[in-house]
Amino acid sequence: MNLDFNKNTDGLVPAIIQDATTQKVLMLGYMNAEALSTTQTTEKVTFFSRTKNRLWTKGEESGNFLELVSIKEDCDQDTLLIQVNPQGPTCHKGTDTCWEESNTSSFGFLSTLGKTIKERKENNEDDSYVASLFRLGINKIAQKVGEEAVETIIEAKDADEELFLSESADLLFHYLILLEAKGFSLLDIEQRLASRSK
């Protein structure tokens, strides 16, 4: 690494700490060259504390260490992105992140869609297609997933990519409805798959 610790008069560079699995930003700290070297050697994230005026390993008092996964420097060589496996809450206030967010995976638009499906399920007066499926019950929802799966398989054997993608989207949409009907979410599926990778 060719970090420029002299860009700032205090010889520190910001270090953005990100969960390697969930991709959530957990905190921001500062490192000097010694803190970076210590982090690389011990594989526990160590900062230079501006208030204590010394090196400080996150978790040295609480036991909530940040186990090092990777370190990347930015294009200007004056900021670090450090991916970690956190061993407990990151913030000194006891929260997962220093922004009081839950450190769980987000699946982008699929997470937003999952929340919408949950809201439609809970609002029984809703006249949407999703709410109507929930009113019809688990058997109908499961049947729709089966139908969409068959249609996806049929389109997979043909050359029409647009139809294949359309049927794949329908299958995933109805599968998210089925997950919600059973009281689960994509997080549960992610955890099950992750447990199989060990």
Q: What is the pLDDT of residues 77-89, one digit of tens each?
A: 899 999 999 999 9
Residue range 191-195: average pLDDT? 90
Classify domain 109-196 at the CATH topology level: Helix Hairpins (1.10.287)
Q: If you search the block for the tokens 């990100």, which residue do you land on? A: 18
Q: What is the pLDDT of residues 7-32, one digit of tens each?
A: 766 889 999 999 999 999 999 999 99
What distance in Å separates the CA atoms of residue 91 and residue 29, rounded to the nearest whole number?
Answer: 11
Residue range 173-196: average pLDDT? 95
Region of 110 (left: φ > 0; alpha: ψ -120 to 50; beta: rest) is: alpha
Residues of the chain with CATH 3.10.20.810: 13-86
Percent of the chain with pLDDT over 90: 85
The pLDDT confidence band at residue 5, using thresholds 50, 70 and 90, is: confident
Q: Give the CATH number of domain 13-86; options: 1.10.645.10, 3.40.50.720, 3.10.20.810, 3.60.40.10.
A: 3.10.20.810
Residues of the chain with CATH 1.10.287.1080: 109-196
Secondary structure tally for the chain: helices H, strands E = 6, 6
Residue range 135-141: average pLDDT? 97
Give the helix ranges, DSSP H, for the chain.
Answer: 33-42, 109-122, 129-136, 138-156, 161-181, 186-196
The pLDDT of residue 20 is: 95
Q: Is 64 helix (H, G, I), strand (E, B) or coil?
A: coil
Average pLDDT, the chain: 94
The pLDDT of residue 9 is: 65
Q: What is the pLDDT of residues 91-129, one digit of tens each?
A: 999 999 999 999 988 899 999 999 999 999 998 777 899
Q: If you search the block for the tokens 């260490």, which residue do you land on? A: 65
Residue range 47-63: average pLDDT? 94
